[in-house]
């Protein structure tokens, strides 16, 4: 079939041809933002899920829809190793400059830009990576204490007042939120809490690994009351079938029922894998409709492609000891696994493996669904680890 017309889009953050099975979440977001804009209480959405389930594309879609509804938005991705104030400041500046173009918001948006100048200047001592243009001189005493805990709430409040005056809402979309260090996350939660108490139209829509839920709870005990944690998971069968069938039909081609069912079974409905299989099934088929035999051939190339990209990029960031830990987990199956069982495979004491486990959690490779339990954050990673470190020799390496 024509490779030029292949509709599938495997890739981190690549918008899928059909965003299947997420209507309820999009609707929940729409309602929450509309309420916040009216000064009504609504919980912020923090979407949690494993790697490749479609958190980023969902967040981007929510952002596009909220902009179309008239919200001002800020889009951030928390990278490992950079501070929240550093990534927030330049993006917030853009949003405030846009707000200042709204006649009714102008005065308060300028005040918020002054707050931003004070914020950035005074926090520069602690967070050296802050780089932001100054449009106005700081106002003495406005968000310039030099403490994130105190200054971020004042800054967001100033921004919220501007948004309110402009008859809009300011929405922070933050991806990979689990990488924000706990003290900075705590300051962000305090700031959102303060704005909510004042009924200001400022909110957060976030996404992260499942560990995010515990992290926010540890950062602020009242976080549960402020946030909803909808789980983004694999697609149910009907949505997964749709994710495959609809894009193919939109190109004037077709796929046999049994062939699309086989894709759903092989991918377990995981969105990233659906895109990969869809792409390879299209490529494997001579002509429409796509048959089961095409999918069988596609499975081989799709897995090889995943091994070379989706799984590989994660694997390459691991130290040899980390690889052995994950390989030991893979020995036990998909998981979750007890720390004691993993230690047993490695013939080590549980306590001696604690630091390694923590390291893997902070790298976002594993998480702890319950005390003492460890699970992969990447779906089907156990099978990949078995492929890439086969046999028994890995124990000796
Ligand atoms: N609802 C969906 N239907 C079909 N395909 C989807 C859906 N959501 C995401 N995808 C596809 O899945 C892949 C992964 O999406 P995305 O990068 O948003 O996942 P993620 O959860 O952010 O992953 P990571 O945790 O690695 O950042 C992309 O190729 C995207 O096109
Ligand atoms: Mg993502």
Q: Is the CB of 174 under 6 A from ligand 1?
A: no
Q: Which segments of the chain does DSSP mark as H helices, in order?
A: 23-37, 55-68, 84-99, 106-123, 148-165, 182-197, 211-219, 223-226, 237-250, 257-267, 271-284, 292-308, 310-315, 320-331, 339-346, 350-362, 381-388
Give the ligand 1 atom nearest the CA of 52. Answer: 23
**Closest by alpha carbon to 77, among 90, 93, 65, 95?**
90
Q: Is the CB of 48 under 6 A from ligand 1?
A: no
Q: What CA–CA distance (Å, rounded) separates 94 from 97? A: 5
Joined tokens for residue 264: 């759903």
pLDDT at 224: 86
Q: Is the CB of 226 under 6 A from ligand 1?
A: no
Ligand nearest to the CA of 11: 1
Q: What Å distances lie between residue 281 and 272, 273, 324, CA to CA? A: 14, 12, 34
203, 171 contact by CB (below 8 A): yes
**Closest by alpha carbon to 123, among 85, 67, 154?**
85
Ligand 2 centroid from CA 248, angstroms = 25
Residue for token pair 């918020």: 112
Q: What Å distances lie between residue 88 and 47, 98, 137, 147, 336, CA to CA? A: 20, 16, 19, 15, 35
Q: Is the CB of 247 under 6 A from ligand 1?
A: no
Instruction: Summarize pLDDT for 332-364 with one digit per residue, the tens.
Output: 999 899 999 999 999 999 999 999 999 999 999
**Closest by alpha carbon to 156, among 139, 146, 167, 169?**
169
Q: What CA–CA distance (Å, rounded) separates 228 from 43? A: 6
pTM of the model: 0.95
Determine the residue of 272, 314, 365, 381 to mutate for testing ligand 1's pocket, defined as the one with the most ligand atoms within 8 A of the Cβ atom: 272
pLDDT at 132: 87
Instruction: Summarize pLDDT for 125-144 with one digit per residue, the tens.
Output: 899 899 888 889 999 999 99
Q: What Å distances lie between residue 311 and 63, 83, 287, CA to CA? A: 28, 27, 30
Range of weakest confidence among 25-34, 46-55, 120-129, 146-155: 120-129
Quick one: what percent of the chain has pLDDT higher than 70?
Answer: 100
3-class DSSP state of 216: helix
Q: Is the CB of 19 under 6 A from ligand 1?
A: yes
pLDDT at 397: 66
Contacts of 320 (CB under 8 A, 6+ apart): 397
Joined tokens for residue 106: 């102008």
Instruction: Summarize pLDDT for 274-324 with one digit per residue, the tens.
Output: 999 999 999 999 999 999 999 999 999 999 999 999 999 999 999 999 999
Q: What CA–CA distance (Å, rounded) separates 120 from 91? A: 13
Q: Is the CB of 313 under 6 A from ligand 1?
A: no
CA angle 14, 18, 24 (to 5 degrees): 105
Q: Which residues of 182-198 are buried (b: 16+ CB within 10 A; e: fewer)?
A: eebbbbbbbbbbbbbee
Atom 6 (ligand 1) nearest CA: 271
Q: Is the CB of 54 under 6 A from ligand 1?
A: yes
Q: What CA–CA distance (Å, rounded) separates 28 from 32? A: 6
Mean pLDDT of 143-167: 97
Determine the residue of 24, 56, 379 to mutate for testing ligand 1's pocket, defined as the one with the most ligand atoms within 8 A of the Cβ atom: 56
Give the ligand 1 atom nearest the CA of 12. Answer: 17
Q: What is the mean pLDDT of the chain?
A: 95
Give the ligand 1 atom nearest the CA of 270. Answer: 12
Phi–psi pair at 45, nearest 5 degrees: -95, 125
Ligand 1 centroid from CA 220, angstroms = 29
pLDDT at 81: 80
Ligand 2 centroid from CA 154, angstroms = 30
Joined tokens for residue 379: 């779906």
Ligand nearest to the CA of 55: 1
Ligand 2 centroid from CA 79, angstroms = 11
Instruction: Summarize pLDDT for 267-278 with one digit per residue, the tens.
Output: 999 999 999 999
Q: What CA–CA distance (Å, rounded) separates 30 from 196? A: 17
pLDDT at 41: 92
């Amino acid at each position: 079939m024509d490779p030029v017309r292949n509709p599938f889009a495997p890739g981190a953050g690549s918008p899928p041809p059909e965003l299947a099975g997420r209507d309820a979440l999009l609707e929940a977001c729409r309602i929450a933002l509309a309420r916040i804009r009216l000064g009504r209480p609504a919980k912020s959405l923090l979407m949690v899920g494993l790697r490749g389930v479609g958190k980023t594309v969902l967040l981007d879609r929510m952002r596009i829809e909220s902009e179309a509804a008239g919200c001002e938005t800020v889009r951030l991705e928390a990278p490992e190793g950079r501070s929240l104030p550093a990534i927030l400041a330049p993006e917030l500046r853009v949003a405030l400059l846009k707000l200042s173009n709204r006649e009714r918001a102008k005065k308060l948006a300028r005040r918020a830009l002054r707050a931003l100048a004070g914020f950035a200047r005074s926090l520069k001592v602690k967070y050296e990576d802050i780089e932001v243009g100054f449009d106005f001189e700081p106002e003495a005493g406005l968000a310039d204490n030099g403490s994130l805990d105190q200054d971020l709430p004042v800054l967001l409040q100033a921004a919220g007042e501007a948004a309110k005056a402009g008859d809009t809402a300011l929405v922070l979309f933050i991806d990979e939120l689990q990488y924000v260090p706990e003290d900075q996350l705590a300051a962000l939660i305090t700031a959102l809490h303060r704005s909510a108490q004042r009924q200001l139209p400022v909110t957060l829509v976030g996404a992260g690994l499942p560990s995010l839920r515990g992290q926010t709870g540890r950062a602020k005990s009242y976080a549960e009351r402020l946030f909803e944690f909808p789980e983004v998971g694999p697609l149910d069968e009907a949505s997964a079938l749709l994710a495959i069938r609809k894009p193919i039909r939109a190109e004037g081609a077709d796929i046999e029922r049994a062939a699309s069912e086989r894709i759903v079974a092989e991918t377990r409905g995981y969105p990233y894998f659906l895109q990969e299989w869809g792409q390879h099934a299209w490529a494997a088929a001579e002509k429409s409709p796509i048959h089961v035999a095409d999918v069988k051939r596609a499975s081989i190339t799709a897995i090889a492609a995943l091994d070379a990209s989706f799984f590989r990029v994660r694997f390459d960031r691991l130290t040899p000891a980390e690889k052995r830990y994950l390989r030991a987990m893979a020995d036990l199956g998909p998981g979750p696994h007890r720390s004691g069982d993993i230690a047993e495979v490695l013939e080590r004491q549980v306590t001696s493996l604690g630091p390694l486990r923590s390291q893997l959690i902070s790298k976002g490779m594993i998480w702890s669904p319950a005390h003492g339990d460890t699970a992969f954050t990447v779906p089907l990673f156990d099978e990949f680890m078995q492929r890439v470190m086969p046999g028994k020799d890995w124990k000796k390496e």
